[in-house]
A and B are shown apart, each in its own frame.
Chain A
């Protein structure tokens, strides 16, 4: 496999340098830019496999860059943001970003997220939705037959619980916002009722997680949404 090509868009030179060092050590090719203008140019000319994008750029809003790039590229975008700007994160995800990292973050966290997104993109590119069988932890989900097993035993899910799980499975580890989940599972009329997602997610955790209060797979991104962690590539 070729070296993955990563475009880093960050206006702080020191953070840019550490991102480059960390990713190059993982055998990736890194291109750096410091503003939105060059981000747009390089996203087109360098054809990166993944973009790491700081939302606070000096010349333009990071979300505008995401929307532009999403117009013609499916490369995963990981957003860097501050803790307190939940609405910003949600807006970035709904503009087309795939994941986010909260500053400050550690190298292992960064590498794990980048690798997960690259894997996700590869899987999607290689076989699309061909495989209906997904595995995470001791859970196996069959998207075609709507069956779920936990440690080999059938788990009974209600239709909505299954739709919610299926949405997360199809997201392949991407963070899905409350709104995105509500629209996908309940329909557009429910876009503002985020407590629905919370209640059904709690039910899912009761059925699928070993410790529902310390979930390993159905992970809460507080005030943002949910994602499915720990998907095994081949069942």
Chain B
């Protein structure tokens, strides 16, 4: 820690002020000798008292006390009969001496205290002015560099030394090489404790490293180097503490200004991307809607049906592409809500044309709600069902089962079709643009599964593929069950 004020040794006593006190008394004696020609002895005493008070006012308590004694002595020696001797003929003078000594001491000490208070007040004012000036500068500093400059040019001189600001980079490390000792600076940053000279940690170091701490965290380190061997005095220590918190707050303010600025930029960028995506989405969907609709007008011919089918397929690919683009540009932002798994399965089944394929759904009614983004999760299911429709004959059966094991919900989508081609790594299917059979007659760019994996992983779950016995494909989605919100069930009738 910074040394406490009481640990600071007082300024060494300056003996020359005692010399000044004696000299002042000698001078007064001379003046008194002249005055005595005109004035009475009892008036001359007042001149000595005045001197004692002035000495105390100018040079302090000790000088005042000495002056009081010397003044009484010289008054006795030079002016009280018999002169040139400390002998006193009239005992009345003994009373005068006592009174004079008492008055001189009291006025001297009062004057000295007055002076001390004036000095303290002046120092306080000086410190307040310095603080105010630095605070004003720090409050308009817009960058870390500005703050560093203020530390160098304004704060250092006030502390009779050189102050350097050491700030961590984005990785929370003080950059190396830096001015000073990186190791100590890093320690100070992490511990929030001062180190180096004048502290309990590594006091032998030539510089002090002081943490710049705000209520939130330690934002940087102030390094203080001083040539003087004397420690900081109370006034400077007070200043230093004030500077520490002012600099810390200034750094924090600059930091939050930057954060706000970056956020604004990101929001702008995001808005632009969203606008772009929705424009692309609209531009692709409009012709598709027209094509699909017009083909629907052509009646029940094979050609018309084929156009409708292809338009539908293209629509699903466009949707996948847009979803991939959206997920890539924004990361996955989930709109999490508590959903019933069977409802999502039902919705996805309704959205996928499966032809004459049988669908067997086995989802226990008592399965808990699960927290997920319904639109994205439906996308996963539609892709899986769509795959089943693409790769199985039209008399295949689709099995959809869900279960809870421990803290997980498992959803399996299986078919009894031909399954994956032999010799391929089934889990490589989830890599981007992978497809089971190279250049097969079945359309699709393999976007669906990689998109599905990305969506499931964003939910904290996993998706895997395996071969089903005796034949067919199996996809397994594992989700975290979580803690569904409670529902105030009504009282049974």
A residues apposed to B, CB below 8 Å: 12, 14-15, 18-19, 21-22, 25, 56, 82-84, 86, 103-108, 110, 158-160, 193-196, 198-199, 201-202, 205-206, 211-215, 219-220, 222-223
Contact = CB atoms under 8 A, between A and B. Distances in A.
B308 interface: yes
15 contacts: A14-B294, A15-B286, A15-B289, A18-B296, A19-B293, A104-B312, A106-B308, A108-B296, A199-B369, A201-B343, A202-B340, A213-B343, A220-B347, A222-B344, A222-B375
Given A103-B285, A198-B340, A199-B340, A213 B296 contact: no
B296 to A, nearest CB: 3
Contact of B315 (A104, A206, A222): A104
B315 A214 contact: no
Contacts of A158: 490, 492-493
A104 B345 contact: no
Contacts of B297: 18, 21-22, 25, 107
Given A103-B286, A198-B340, A213-B343, 20 more contacts: A14-B286, A14-B294, A18-B290, A82-B281, A82-B282, A82-B285, A103-B285, A104-B289, A104-B293, A107-B293, A194-B337, A195-B485, A198-B339, A202-B342, A202-B343, A206-B365, A213-B342, A213-B346, A220-B343, A220-B350
A214 B315 CA distance: 23
Nearest to A106: B296
Nearest to B490: A160
Interface in B355-375: 359, 361, 363, 365, 369, 374-375
A105 B311 CA distance: 10
Contacts, number: 121
Contacts of A110: 293
Nearest to A83: B319
- The secondary structure that dominates the B interface is helix
B378 interface: yes
A161 to B, nearest CB: 9
A211 B358 CA distance: 13
Contact of A199 (B282, B288, B378, B487): B487
B453 interface: no
B293 A213 contact: no
B282 to A, nearest CB: 7
A223 B311 contact: no
B380 to A, nearest CB: 13
Interface in B311-345: 311-312, 315, 319, 322, 335, 337-340, 342-345
Contact of B349 (A21, A86, A199, A214): A214
A194 B340 CA distance: 11
A195 B296 contact: no
B292 interface: yes
B203 interface: no
A204 to B, nearest CB: 11
A18 B344 CA distance: 32
Contact of B374 (A19, A104, A223): A223
Contacts of B490: 158-160
Contacts of B289: 12, 15, 103-105
A12 B339 CA distance: 36
A158 B286 CA distance: 46
Contact of B293 (A22, A201, A205, A206): A22
4 nearest A-B pairs in the assembled complex, by CB-CB distance:
A107-B296, A18-B293, A104-B289, A14-B290
B484 interface: yes
Contacts of A219: 350
Q: Name which of B293, B343, B378 has the most chain A CB atoms within 10 A of its CB.
A: B293
